[in-house]
Structure 1
Amino acid sequence: MEKTSQTKPDADPEPASAASVEKFDVLVTAEEAYPAFERAFLTAKSEIIASFRVIDLSTRLRSPEALKIGTTWMDLMIHTLDRGVAVRLVTSDFDPVAAPELHQLAWRTLRQIAAVRELTRDCGRLDFTLALHDARTGLVPRLILYPLVRHKMNQLARTWHEMSDPERQRFRVETPRLQKICYENGDGKLCFPLRPVDLFPATHHQKMAVFDRETLYIGGLDLNERRYDTKRHRRAAERTWHDIQAIATGPVAQAAQAHLESFLDSVAGRAAPPPAAPGFLRTLSRRRRGMPLRLAPRTVLREIETRHIEAIGRARHLIYLETQFLRHMPLARALARRARECPGLRLIVILPAAPEDAAFDSNQGLDLRYGEYQQVRCLTRLQRAFGSDRFLVASPVQPRKTESEGRDALENAPLVYVHSKVSIFDDFGAILSSANLNGRSMRWDSEAGIYLDQTAHVEELRRRVMGHWLPPQSDAAYLDPQAAFGHWQRLVESNSALPPSKRQGFLVRYDSDVARDIAAPIPGMPDEVV
């Protein structure tokens, strides 16, 4: 990292590989991504390999081509298998205490896959794995965290108490890992043992598929109805979801194939991960064995973090970061260092107005407060390093008024929830991945992305990603790394002073005041936990 910080500002970036990414198409929101994903399934000739955090096969089909064969992704999966295409799919399982809703969704997918096996003519072509990350928390951290875990257990017991009998029966079936550590007593109460339980700190967070070993679908978007939104974002705030995917061909697709074939063995410690490949980036970790004092897994690869820091060290004019979270202090330090080294460098950050659970579930739990603490620290460091004339943080909102005074609104308008993960560095490089700019994505979870080093690809990503937030027919200067910052700053300031119906584009000032009010450190807790 130190060597990176000393890179000469005027040095030409070294390309990852002239041909690592050949064809490259950007997909903005599920309105574009889901139909493209469906078409890739329909045109696959022999095999598909994929890994997602969340897949719900009851998700409705959107493309005209797919709607000819059915109405849901279950229909498309059956159709694909019946055509003779082999499908290998890995989805993530989750800690049943820390994330019971996600654990339940994961096992619901397993039941959907069982139905697919029953309905397809050739179930042998379907290889499905519901994968819980192998990392476990050591005994001592489990003892220390027991009060927090106990609080989660008590919340589950209260939820159970409010369920009807049919809901309880379904909950039992869909939370098998939870059922192993709890029981229903004679009074119908959900009870947990008074002892520490295993904790699973990491997940498989990547969202990607490779078709016929030559076409890669990758980015930050999983597959379910919650994640479907259009580019207009005209819906209830809690139903908005902004994300970016891409389709790429070239050697990067073969690198992604090798990763998908091996990452479970790499995480389990059964094999080393494939060598680094130009244009393809990963985060991988594995379980620490014989380390009872450690909460965190052992990081095996942090290529996404390393590439970010290298690119930061080369940027001269404009860095654009669009992310769900900006909580990773090593990245904030690298940005602050580069701000001091390069007085002409400017930084634009696009964040959601609030975390999802704070905006839509009114969560103010300790995990949320610790996450806000991490983000406030990073933003404060960046503000001090860049100053207000070189640093802009904005959030997208809808062009209509809302009466809500909660965190699902900003500047009197419903928020647009940002889940995308895109970083653009001048004209020389860009990263599109599943990784947020937090320690969890940089060090713990299984993540994957691509690095673009061809100017045409970088410009296309900038045009589609940055241009999405701008008014129609915006001047080309809004996308010029040397001129964009001033235009964006004036646009955001103007929008923030106008009523929602008079604004141009989507962006207003990000407001960190509420986050600062509730932010709370947790002494001894790893930064990467959030």
Structure 2
Amino acid sequence: MHGFTENSAALDAATGPVEELELLLTAAEAYPALERAFLGARHSISASFRIFDLATRLRSPEARAIGEDWFDLLVHTLERGVSVRLVLTDFDPIGAADLHRLSWNARRRLIAAREVARGGRLEVLSALHSAQAGIGARLALWPGAHAKLRSVLDDLNARSEADRRRFLEEAPGIARITRERPDGRIVAVPGLPDLTPATHHQKMAVFDGRQLYVGGLDLNERRYDSPRHCRAPERTWHDVHAMVRGPVVAAAAQHLDGFLDIVAGRRAPGPAAPGFLRTLSRPARRAPFRFSPRPLVTEIERAHLSRIGAAERLIYLETQFFRHLPLARAMARRAEARPDLRAILVLPAAPEDVAFENSSGLDVRYGEHLQSRCLSLLYDAFGPDRVLVLSPVQPRRLAVEGRAELEDAPIIYVHSKVSIFDGDAAILSSANLNGRSMRWDTEAGLELTAPAHVDLIRRRVMGHWLPREGDGGVDPAALDPRTAFEAWRVLADLNSRRSPERREGFLVHYDSDPARKLGLPVPGVPPEIV
């Protein structure tokens, strides 16, 4: 930590798993904190990221004093004698060819930094999830997978020979399942390729075993945004991360050291650690028709279900997706049992690939169907006076099309993953509220129960979306679990009626109609796949 600020809270008595918490909203706050942690590391850094792009520009004055981008910072870190271990997510080369290629390009840059640093102690592990679909499931999925591979190869064969060779060098997973014909065209080799439906989705780092950086934010330029969100909608990216100290750091370090062996089935998972939450899965044995891995550790899901079951006044969920039916059903049951319970959900107006790429693939439509079902459960159980589903938009007009716009304003893309339950607890993690994050992908996060930490999260996470008063703060009634719901409803009602320039804060009502119209059930396909 770098001193107590309005973004941080420390406990007077070190009685809990988290002693110090610094909350970081958007990359404008998180990237400089991560840079300073690298600069301050003395002997070791252990990390796992889905995306870690060394071309990302440095933002903090301290880091910019030594270079321009993360390549320079990593070289500097290695030359100081710091040992760095990074698990970099790899992706199924058919299902996510672009991300697979991106991952291996990132690996090459990381290795180049080690070479520039004259053999610095850098270990890079490119990690594809160990769980693969069974042969029967692969047969069932093959028509769709083959269509995706054919699209990749059609694009590849339209390129020059030099570009084709470079692509295959940068995407070894594609190279393994293709061959070059005498005429130079790249074609798929006969056979049924492996399909890997799960990924390592966590974004975290431990510094010297003393400090933990964890949350929803990867490292690249696409994810850079500031709390003002005044960029084009496709360049907005609202996220939340945390920098913490305390006993929870040791649990995170142990997780980073062993999760690959646990997922591969070479090691049993350790017991749950106070304050630290995980999702882990591993291959399902003797299950030829199984699409999915076998859920092994579901602490993030269990923590949500437990907190939902104890909520009395207000459940606040801020998430990229709300697609997990067990969570929606648990909230519906609690709403029926507790007439005073309210719920506020903050969601992006549309998934990223729908809003900015106009995608309408089967996976997209299935995801929209599941979210529509989950929200319908809440609307039915809570009724219109006890649940709010909101989306943030910019307070201006901008010429954008389709679902990149809501209520005549460009959307703000929400990628954060924070849940707050009354004034009692908060969960901050890498996990979306969908079945994939709850049961399949590797995820990590925190459960915070110290009143000072919950209060900090409520003030900063909820307060971020609200209008500022004369002293720069927000209306305390809009943060109090007993009164927040009504304050947010009044604000959203007013903003949804006003022109963008006259709105206060960022919130308007989420429009569920487009998702419901686009959504499509896919019988037989597990909901965790999206």
**TM superposition score normalised by structure 2:** 0.95
Secondary structure at the aligned position of 1:48 is classed as strand
Segments of structure 1 that go 5 or more residues without pairing to the other structure are 1-16
Higher alpha-carbon deviation: 324-333 or 511-520: 511-520
After TM superposition, list the pairs within 5 Å mapping 1:431-442 onto structure 2: 431-442=427-438
The amino acid of 1:281's aligned partner reads L
For the Cα contact (< 8 Å) 1:262–1:274, is it kept in 2? no
For the Cα contact (< 8 Å) 2:78–2:114, is it kept in 1? no
The amino acid of 2:278's aligned partner reads R
Which of 71, 92, 114 is equivalent to 1:74? 71
Question: Separation in 1 of the partners of 2:403 and 2:98?
Answer: 22
Secondary structure at the aligned position of 2:402 is classed as coil
For the Cα contact (< 8 Å) 2:323–2:374, is it kept in 1? yes
Deviations 1:228-253 (A, max 9, x none): 01111111111110100001110111
Change (3 A) 1:406 1:167: farther
Q: Which residue of 2 aligns with 1:295?
A: 291
The amino acid of 1:144's aligned partner reads A
Which of 18, 30, 43 is equivalent to 1:33? 30
The amino acid of 2:512's aligned partner reads S
Cα displacement (A) at 1:451: 0.3
Cα displacement (A) at 1:412: 1.1
For the Cα contact (< 8 Å) 1:161–1:189, is it kept in 2? yes
Q: Which residue of 2 aligns with 1:499?
A: 499
Q: Which residue of 1 aligns with 2:9?
A: none
For the Cα contact (< 8 Å) 2:23–2:242, is it kept in 1? yes
Q: Which residue of 2 aligns with 1:10?
A: none
Q: Which residue of 2 aligns with 1:8?
A: none
Higher alpha-carbon deviation: 290-299 or 360-369: 290-299
Deviations 1:189-235 (A, max 9, x none): 33224532100011000000011111110000000000001111111
Question: Separation in 2 of the partners of 1:505 and 1:161?
Answer: 49
Cα displacement (A) at 1:187: 4.1
After TM superposition, list the pairs within 5 Å mapping 1:274-293 onto structure 2: 274-293=270-289
Deviations 1:303-347 (A, max 9, x none): 000000000011111110000000000000100000001110100
Question: Separation in 2 of the partners of 1:188 and 1:324?
Answer: 43
Deviations 1:340-397 (A, max 9, x none): 0111010000001110111111110000000001100100001000111000001111
Question: Separation in 2 of the partners of 1:195 and 1:166?
Answer: 27
Deviations 1:401-452 (A, max 9, x none): 1333311111111111110000000111000000000000000000000000
Question: Separation in 1 of the partners of 2:216 and 2:401?
Answer: 29
What is the count of residue pairs matched by the alignment? 513
For the Cα contact (< 8 Å) 2:157–2:164, is it kept in 1? no
Deviations 1:52-110 (A, max 9, x none): 11100111100000001111111111111111111111010000000001001100111
Question: Separation in 2 of the partners of 1:528 and 1:238?
Answer: 26
Question: Separation in 2 of the partners of 1:339 and 1:364?
Answer: 33
The amino acid of 1:463's aligned partner reads R
Cα displacement (A) at 1:169: 3.0
Query: Do structure 1's residue 354 and structure 2's residue 379 form an aligned pair?
Result: no
The amino acid of 1:342's aligned partner reads R
For the Cα contact (< 8 Å) 2:319–2:433, is it kept in 1? yes
For the Cα contact (< 8 Å) 2:365–2:518, is it kept in 1? yes
Q: Which residue of 2 aligns with 1:419?
A: 415
Query: Do structure 1's residue 156 and structure 2's residue 148 form an aligned pair?
Result: no
Question: Separation in 1 of the partners of 2:179 and 2:384?
Answer: 56
Query: Do structure 1's residue 272 and structure 2's residue 272 form an aligned pair?
Result: no
Which of 307, 314, 317 is equivalent to 1:318? 314
Q: Which residue of 2 aligns with 1:7?
A: none
Deviations 1:146-203 (A, max 9, x none): 1111111121123223434443233111100111111233444332245321000110
Q: Which residue of 1 aligns with 2:56?
A: 59
Which of 340, 349, 368 is equivalent to 1:344? 340
Cα displacement (A) at 1:464: 0.7
Deviations 1:115-152 (A, max 9, x none): 112111342x1111011110010011111111111111
Q: Which residue of 1 aligns with 2:250?
A: 254
Q: Which residue of 1 aligns with 2:4?
A: none
Q: Which residue of 1 aligns with 2:453?
A: 457
For the Cα contact (< 8 Å) 1:216–1:256, is it kept in 2? yes
Higher alpha-carbon deviation: 186-195 or 430-439: 186-195
Q: Which residue of 2 aligns with 1:472?
A: 468
Which of 204, 215, 218 is equivalent to 1:222? 218
Secondary structure at the aligned position of 1:449 is classed as strand
Question: Separation in 2 of the partners of 1:377 and 1:193?
Answer: 40
Secondary structure at the aligned position of 2:310 is classed as coil
Question: Separation in 2 of the partners of 1:503 and 1:163?
Answer: 48
Segments of structure 2 that go 5 or more residues without pairing to the other structure are 1-13
Question: Separation in 1 of the partners of 2:162 and 2:498?
Answer: 50
Question: Separation in 1 of the partners of 2:196 and 2:324?
Answer: 21
After TM superposition, list the pairs within 5 Å mapping 1:175-190 onto structure 2: 175-190=171-186
Q: Which residue of 2 aligns with 1:329?
A: 325
Q: Which residue of 1 aligns with 2:188?
A: 192
Q: Which residue of 1 aligns with 2:366?
A: 370
Question: Separation in 2 of the partners of 1:70 and 1:184?
Answer: 42
The amino acid of 2:350's aligned partner reads A
For the Cα contact (< 8 Å) 1:18–1:454, is it kept in 2? no
Query: Do structure 1's residue 83 and structure 2's residue 85 form an aligned pair?
Result: no
Question: Separation in 2 of the partners of 1:324 and 1:165?
Answer: 40
Change (3 A) 1:400 1:162: farther
Deviations 1:462-494 (A, max 9, x none): 111111111112311010100000110111111
Query: Do structure 1's residue 102 and structure 2's residue 102 form an aligned pair?
Result: no
Query: Do structure 1's residue 525 and structure 2's residue 525 form an aligned pair?
Result: yes
The amino acid of 2:497's aligned partner reads A
Secondary structure at the aligned position of 1:407 is classed as helix
Change (3 A) 1:187 1:490: farther
Secondary structure at the aligned position of 2:84 is classed as strand
The amino acid of 1:189's aligned partner reads R
Which aligned segments of 4 or more residues in structure 1 are displaced greater than 6 angstroms? none
Secondary structure at the aligned position of 2:403 is classed as coil
Q: Which residue of 1 aligns with 2:8?
A: none
The amino acid of 1:231's aligned partner reads P
